[in-house]
Amino acid sequence: MTERQPDDRRPQRDDFATDRTESLARLDALRRAAFHRVRLPPNAEQLARRRSLLGFAKWALPGLALVLLSSIAAWPEISHLVNQNRAALREMARLRVESGNMEEAVYRGLDAHNHLYMITARITHQEGPDRVDLTEPVADIQLSGDSWAHIRADRGVYMQHEQTLDLDDHVVLYRDDGTLMNGPSADLDLKQDVIASRDWVHAEGPFGTQDAQGYFLDQHAGIMQFTGPGLTVRNDDNGPPSQAARLRTEGTRTEK
**Domains of the chain (ranges plus CATH)?**
101-234 (2.60.450.10)
Q: Please tell me the predicted confidence (pLDDT) of residue 136.
A: 92
Q: Which residues of the chain have pLDDT under 70?
A: 1-20, 35-40, 89-100, 236-256
Q: Please tell me the predicted confidence (pLDDT) of residue 243.
A: 57
Q: Tell me phi and psi for residue 219, to 5 degrees.
A: -75, -25
Q: Tell me phi and psi for residue 138, to 5 degrees.
A: -135, 125
Radius of gyration, CA atoms only, the chain: 47
Separation of CA 248 from chain center: 64
One-letter amino acid identity for 5?
A: Q
Within 10 Å of residue 137's Cβ, how many Cβ atoms?
28
Q: Please give the angle made by the CA atoms of 65, 67 and 70, to the nearest 5 degrees.
A: 110
Q: What number of residues does the chain have?
A: 256
The sign of the dihedral angle between the CA atoms of 196, 200, 202, 205 is positive
**DSSP character string of 4-29:** PPP-TTS---GGG-S--HHHHHHHHH
Q: Please tell me the predicted confidence (pLDDT) of residue 33.
A: 76
Q: Please tell me the predicted confidence (pLDDT) of residue 166.
A: 92
Q: What is the dihedral of CA 218, 223, 229, 233, to 10 degrees?
A: 130
Give the global pTM.
0.52
Q: Please tell me the predicted confidence (pLDDT) of residue 111.
A: 86
